[in-house]
Amino acid sequence: MKRLVSDTLVIAERNLVRLPRAPDLLLAFTVQPIMFLLLFVYVFGGAIVTPGYSNYVDFLLPGIIVQNIAFGGFVTAVGLNEDLSKGLIDRFRSLPMSRPAVLAGRTLADVATNALSMTILLVTGLTIGFRFDAGLLEIAGGVVLLLLFGYAFSWVFAWLGLLVSSPESANSVGFIAVFPLTFISSAFVPVDSMPSALQWFAEANPFTVVVDAMRALWLGAPAGNSIWGAFVWTFVIMAIFAPLAVAVYRSAAGGK
């Protein structure tokens, strides 16, 4: 157990140290979220009606942060796939280290990068007019929910990254699988503006549940069951995909 913790920290540190040396990844965490936020607010913002919100940036920011943080895990998909194809997983497996630490350290590093991109989005949002309507406790609760949700999606991406054959396909499969999910939700537009079949899907979509919970926590929007629902969804996703990722890791790495 002690080794699990210390080895996890070593692997997490390794993944964070290498990040600034891969400029494309660093851009994905810094410039890209700012770009999306500004494009949505200033290009679509004027055309989207969001009853109950004083302006579009208030409505959008929780949604775009949730989308962004769900995608934070794609570094895990690409990174694990690279480690596998370049033989680093073999190296790790030949060492007397804790075996789950390879995945645990990888996903832990995502929490740090997710916190970074969340901060960047939040600061940008506050600059262009986003205002909290909540106490410190609710704001902190929202941050915790975001980081947990991002962590759960790291396991989804870990599973995807170990399934596919190359880092490139890890990237595109992850994008194709998750991108529509984030759009057919309440993240960017009110759900009742969609055609009815999509509405049905959007309302059941965990993204909608989490985004609504964020709006409840940060903006005092009516929450219904969505705050509890959001935490439940987060743990359900983790409970399904963490064991799946571990199972695929074991067989992908050589059947042990």
Site residues (CB under 8 A) for another protein? Answer: 3, 6-7, 10, 14, 17-18, 21-22, 84, 86-88, 90-97, 252-256
Q: How far apart are CB 77 and another protein at their closest, in Å? A: 17
Would you state the structure tokens that stand for residue 56, as one six-digit string?
């579009």
Helix (H, G, I), strand (E, B) or coil at 65: helix
Q: How far apart are CB 25 and another protein at their closest, in Å? A: 10
Q: How far apart are CB 65 and another protein at their closest, in Å? A: 28
Q: Closest CB to another protein among 176 and 256?
A: 256
Specify the residue for token string 């009606």: 49
Q: How far apart are CB 137 and another protein at their closest, in Å? A: 37
CB 149 within 8 A of CB 99: no
Q: Closest CB to another protein among 18 and 133?
A: 18
Q: Closest CB to another protein among 22 and 39?
A: 22
Q: Is the dihedral of CA 190, 44, 74, 66 positive or negative?
A: negative
Q: Closest CB to another protein among 7 and 212?
A: 7
Q: How far apart are CB 72 and another protein at their closest, in Å? A: 18
Q: Closest CB to another protein among 96 and 222?
A: 96
Distance CA 195, CA 191 (A): 9
Q: Closest CB to another protein among 46 and 87?
A: 87
Degrees to nearest 5, angle at CA 126 with 46 and 33? 75
Q: Residue 76: which H helix or E strand, with range?
A: helix 74-85
Q: Closest CB to another protein among 90 and 168?
A: 90
Chain mean position to CA 205: 15
Nearest to 210 by CA among 196, 225, 198: 225
Q: How far apart are CB 81 and another protein at their closest, in Å? A: 12
CB 152 within 8 A of CB 237: yes
Distance CA 70, CA 63 (A): 11
Distance CA 72, CA 67 (A): 9
CB 157 within 8 A of CB 76: yes
Q: How far apart are CB 101 and another protein at their closest, in Å? A: 8
